[in-house]
């Protein structure tokens, strides 16, 4: 560029010198220099015109054949233009690939703005949610997808897990809707058809419910005969041991079947428990008496009633929660240990806790302790007649009451299981503390 400018300036200076010399020879140097400058400006305008014309029609016309500085400017413009064309082609190609990719995706994707307005969605989102191309762009998502569970999910702001809703487009379709945040205020809604999983889950629940019901009657008959034989004085003494073992195993099977039936019943009933007014204090006093009447139990079983508040819930389920937790504490605490059962209320709601000085649970097992059939020590649990389903039942029944379970435990020192019931389930709070 520098050399082109130098050459152009040198040429102009040379031309001015020649015009000046010719003018001096003719006696009119000013006139010849002015004529030469006018010709130079004219030529410059012609080039400028050709350049401007080409710039406007550069898509269809070849570049003008210009030399010197003008040629350099044409080459520079050509280079910028080619680079821009290259990037444009790449962006268009990327965009096409993105569209092909999102169309091929089995899940629906909806891009949402900061006000949850729909900015874009793919074909599967349109199919699964019944969205209309163009018409629904800019509409708020919660105005179009109005399932109450989804609206609640949006309001909670906790998007760690998807929410499952029934589709409004096809009633036998279930959708998992998952909000994923990215960038500032921007979110994606991922939509997946989970009807197959839901159907399989329903089949599994039905199967377990039917199988456990079918097992109950033959088991009752077998237990009856085993009990009769075990109590029969005429039976050969060599059979006493095996018959006792058969009685124990039949009892274990009955416990498992009963717990399976209980779990199936909980799963089959809706997500919210009923609202009977349950006298928790009375229920706990009865439970304590029942524990103390057992053949073996820890020496101290204390009941600390900090409130006589009642709970709105299902009486049978609340009994199941409290008795499972108290029975576990009694089962896993030695005879010289202690079990403290407490019931109290505060601004956070009502709370039930069972603390024991028993075997405790190691930190590794704690996260999985409420899973079905999860036992820390298979042998000990079997020996104590445990089904491995007690805590799963507790967790499920608590969920139906909007309650949560906290477990604190130290191996060898003991455990505390605490249930927190929300204030909306609590009635008749008593201000005075009653200790027993």
356 touches ligand ADP (CB under 6 A): yes
323 touches ligand ADP (CB under 6 A): no
Q: Hey, what are 194's tokens?
A: 């989970």
Which C-beta is closer to ligand ADP: that of 72 or that of 411?
411
Residue 92: CB atoms within 10 Å: 10
Smallest gap from Cβ 267 to ligand ADP, in A, equals 16
What are the Cα distances from residue 354, in Å, to 234, 303, 327, 373?
Answer: 46, 9, 10, 21
Which C-beta is closer to ligand ADP: that of 179 or that of 263?
263
The single residue among 266, 281, 376, 426 that binds ligand ADP, judged by CB under 6 A, is: 376
Q: Residue 357 carries which DSSP code?
A: -
Which C-beta is closer to ligand ADP: that of 110 or that of 330?
330
Total residues binding ligand ADP (CB under 6 A): 23
Smallest gap from Cβ 326 to ligand ADP, in A, equals 9
Closest CA to 310 of 282, 287, 279: 279
Tell which phi-psi region holds residue 158, choosing left (phi > 0), alpha (psi between -120 and 50) or beta: beta
Smallest gap from Cβ 264 to ligand ADP, in A, equals 16
Question: Binding marks (x or -) toward ligand ADP, 129..168, rule CB under 6 A?
Answer: ----------------------------------------
CB distance 131 to 169 below 8 Å: no
Please name every residue paired with 352 in a beta bridge, in sequence order, or none if there are none.
Answer: 343, 419
Question: Binding marks (x or -) toward ligand ADP, 388..407, rule CB under 6 A?
Answer: xxxxx---------------
Alpha carbon 413 to its chain centroid, in Å, reads 35
283 by DSSP, 3-state: which?
Answer: helix
415 touches ligand ADP (CB under 6 A): yes
358 touches ligand ADP (CB under 6 A): yes
The single residue among 124, 307, 342, 381 that binds ligand ADP, judged by CB under 6 A, is: 381
Smallest gap from Cβ 355 to ligand ADP, in A, equals 9
- Residue-wise burial string across 182-209, b where 16 or more C-beta atoms lie within 10 A, e elsewhere: eeeeebbbbbbbbeeebeeeeeeeeebb
Residue 113: CB atoms within 10 Å: 15
Distance CA 286, CA 303 (A): 11
2 by DSSP, 3-state: which?
Answer: helix
The single residue among 329, 341, 350, 398 that binds ligand ADP, judged by CB under 6 A, is: 329
332 touches ligand ADP (CB under 6 A): yes
Which C-beta is closer to ligand ADP: that of 23 or that of 414?
414
Smallest gap from Cβ 367 to ligand ADP, in A, equals 12
Which 15-34 positions form the footprint of ligand ADP (CB under 6 A)? none
Secondary element (H or E) of residue 431: none
246 touches ligand ADP (CB under 6 A): no
Which C-beta is closer to ligand ADP: that of 158 or that of 364?
364
Smallest gap from Cβ 212 to ligand ADP, in A, equals 16
Nearest 5°: phi and psi at 306? -90, 0
Distance CA 269, CA 266 (A): 5
Smallest gap from Cβ 329 to ligand ADP, in A, equals 5
Which C-beta is closer to ligand ADP: that of 108 or that of 337?
337
375 touches ligand ADP (CB under 6 A): yes
387 touches ligand ADP (CB under 6 A): yes
Distance CA 376, CA 365 (A): 7
Residue 280: CB atoms within 10 Å: 23
Secondary element (H or E) of residue 386: none
Q: Strands (DSSP E) along 260-317, which ranges?
A: 276-278, 300-305, 310-313
Binding residues vs ligand ADP (CB under 6 A): 324, 328-329, 332, 356, 358-361, 369, 374-377, 381, 386-392, 415
């Amino acid at each position: 560029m520098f050399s082109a400018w130098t050459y152009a300036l040198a040429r102009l200076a040379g031309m001015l010198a020649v015009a000046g010399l010719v003018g001096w020879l003719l006696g009119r140097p000013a006139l010849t220099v002015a004529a030469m400058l006018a010709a130079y400006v004219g030529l410059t305008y012609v080039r400028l015109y050709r350049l401007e014309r080409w710039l406007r029609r550069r898509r269809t016309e070849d570049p003008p054949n210009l030399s010197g500085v003008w040629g350099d400017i044409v080459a520079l413009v050509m280079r910028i233009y080619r680079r821009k064309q290259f990037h444009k082609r790449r962006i268009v190609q990327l965009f096409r690939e993105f569209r092909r990719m999102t169309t091929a995706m089995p899940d629906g994707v909806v891009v949402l703005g900061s006000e949850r307005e729909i900015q874009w969605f793919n074909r599967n989102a349109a199919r699964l949610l019944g969205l209309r191309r163009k018409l629904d762009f800019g509409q708020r998502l919660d105005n179009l997808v109005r399932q109450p569970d989804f609206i609640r999910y949006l309001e909670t702001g906790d998007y760690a897990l998807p929410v499952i809703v029934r589709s409004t487009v096809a009633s036998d379709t279930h959708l998992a809707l998952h909000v994923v945040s990215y960038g500032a205020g921007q979110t994606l809604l991922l939509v997946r058809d989970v009807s197959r999983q839901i159907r399989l889950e329903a089949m599994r629940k039905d199967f377990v419910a039917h199988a456990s019901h079918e097992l109950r009657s033959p088991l009752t008959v077998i237990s009856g005969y085993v009990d009769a034989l075990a109590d029969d004085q005429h039976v050969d003494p060599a059979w006493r041991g095996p018959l006792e073992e058969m009685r124990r195993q039949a009892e274990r099977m009955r416990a498992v079947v009963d717990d399976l039936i209980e779990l199936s019943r909980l799963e089959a009933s809706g997500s919210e428990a009923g609202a009977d007014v349950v006298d928790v204090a009375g229920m706990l006093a009865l439970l304590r008496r029942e524990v103390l009447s057992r053949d073996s139990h820890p020496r101290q079983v204390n009941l600390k009633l900090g409130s006589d508040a009642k709970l709105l819930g299902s009486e049978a389920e609340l009994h199941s929660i409290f008795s499972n937790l108290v029975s576990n504490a009694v089962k896993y605490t030695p005879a010289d240990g202690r079990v403290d059962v407490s019931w109290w209320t505060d601004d956070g709601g009502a709370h039930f806790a069972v603390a024991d000085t028993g075997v405790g649970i190691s930190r590794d097992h704690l996260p999985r302790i409420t899973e079905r059939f999860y036992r820390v020590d298979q042998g000990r649990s079997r020996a104590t007649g445990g089904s491995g389903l007690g805590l799963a039942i507790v967790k499920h029944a608590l969920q139906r009451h909007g309650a949560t379970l906290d477990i604190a435990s130290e191996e060898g020192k003991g455990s505390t299981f605490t249930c927190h019931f929300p204030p909306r389930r609590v009635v008749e709070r008593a201000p005075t503390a009653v200790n027993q």
